[in-house]
Amino acid sequence: MDSLTQIVLGAAVGEVCLGKKIGNRAMLWGGVAGTIPDLDIIGNLFLGEAEALAFHRGISHSITFAVFGAVLFGWLIDKLYNTKARHWTETVLGIGFYCFGILFASGILLAVGASMKWIIIPIMLAVTGFGIWRIREDLFVRKDRYDRPSRLAWQNMMFWGLFTHPILDSFTAYGTQLFAPFSNYRVAFNNISVADPIYTGLFLIGLITASFYRRTDNKRRFWNYLGIALSSGYMLFTVYNKLKVDTVMEATIASKNLVAERYMTSPSILNNVLWTGTTETDSFFYQGQYSLLDKEKVFKLSKVPKNHDLLADAKADDKTLNILKWFSKEYYMLLKRKDGNIQFNDMRYGTFRGDSYGENDFIFRFILEKGEDGYYQMLDAEGGPPEDMDQEAMASELWNRIKGI
């Protein structure tokens, strides 16, 4: 899931574990726990493009890391609470998380409704100012209003923060190496988008409301648990949708008399109504979209050639290609770019419009160049729309397709 959702989940977990003892500080440190696994992006500074792709959601998203990381980070926080630096650390972290959340939410709102920016921006600035004032008052001015947790309590909170992060990620199509370093198998249930504002929003309702109550007030726990219950209920709803959509996909495959080797379905970005379906035969992928609001219960599939022969000369031990094949779970097609390079497209995510397959239409695309030694190198890894794409027009198309138009 996106970073904001993981911070919110971690904050809710922190509140469950330590809210009664340390109030909003529990949300803060829970947010830290929920952020730590995604710090594996630091590996991008030291690894090549392909290696970084394999490293993300690897060991830092494993059960093993949750266990050992909880012991280490819980011990470090316990030590920090013996120093004067704790107050400033908590204040800086609190303001940092809050500003990140506001910027992230603003980015989504502006992408969906760019024409409303003069309304959205002032509201967000006002919310930011109020939030920073509250954080300063609660974390710094009231700095002594807490019952210090034991080291074991810190470690318990860190474990649940580190553990729930990869569990949540496992529900997306990207996949999570839960069993690393013993296995590189990526768990992926494909029932929720990597960014779903409804799921995140339901969590936030309970979390924000709870933060206004004193740490000893039972209403605080009620609101936090309500947010957890609502978001968990929505997650079960996405699982139900997944089962329904799979039935539609199977019926579509049967109606077209396809001799399909396998298929997969996953929701499109920011919603759980519009789904992408992909199935394959020996030489082709059949891919398309289906909205739960479509009048006809069928995926509108397009026939897409795999073009795997473009890499017929590849060596069996080509590290870059083997990582990309593993990452895409062999759901990939190739095309020759205008610049002469080969583009590796991850078909699990489909395209932006669902029925066009040019080099800039794929959501996840990797540009390859063959080196003098015969091995391929990744020149670029691109996820999301190209910079020159009309974001507002794309958002409008997505919304219309969600509505079944």
Share of the chain above pLDDT 70, in %: 88
CB 111, CB 195: distance < 8 Å: no
Task: Tell me how far CA of residue 285 lies from CA of 174, 189, 248, 249, in angstroms.
Answer: 19, 21, 17, 14
369 has a pLDDT exceeding 80: yes
Q: Are 363 and 380 in contact (CB under 8 A)?
A: no
Chain-centroid distance, C-alpha 93: 22
Tokens 């494993």 correspond to what residue? 62
What is the Cα–Cα distance from 191 to 178, expressed in whole angstroms?
17
Which of 48-52, 204-208, 293-297, 354-358 reaches the highest mean pLDDT?
293-297
Which residue has better confidence, 241 or 84?
A: 241
Lowest-pLDDT range of 14-28, 108-122, 144-158, 182-196 = 108-122
pLDDT at 309: 96
Distance between CA atoms of residues 282 and 391, nearest Å: 36
pLDDT at 100: 76
Beta bridge partners of 110: none
CA nearest neighbour of 277 among 355, 335, 343: 355
How many Cβ atoms from other residues are within 10 Å of residue 65's Cβ? 23
Condensed to tens digits (0 to 9), the pLDDT of residues 97-117 reads 777 776 766 666 655 555 555
pLDDT of res. 113: 56
Task: List the strands of the sheet with 300-305, edge to edge.
Answer: 262-267, 274-280, 284-291, 300-305
Name the residue type at position 55: F
Q: What integer best gives the mean pLDDT of the chain?
A: 88
Report how far Cα 156 is from the mean position of its chain's Cα atoms: 24
CA–CA separation, 211 vs 217, rounded Å? 11
381: left (phi over 0), alpha (psi -120 to 50) or beta: beta
**Of all helices (H) and strands (E), which one includes residue 243?**
helix 218-255
Average pLDDT over residues 76-103: 79
User: For residue 311, is pLDDT > 90?
Assistant: yes
Per the CB < 8 A criterion, the answer to whether 41 and 58 are in contact is no
H or E element, residue 152: helix 151-169
pLDDT at 299 over 60: yes
Residue entry with tokens 């210090």: 148
Task: Tell which residue, 298, 369, 357, has the closest CA to residue 48.
Answer: 369
CA–CA distance, 25 with 279 (Å, rounded to integer): 48
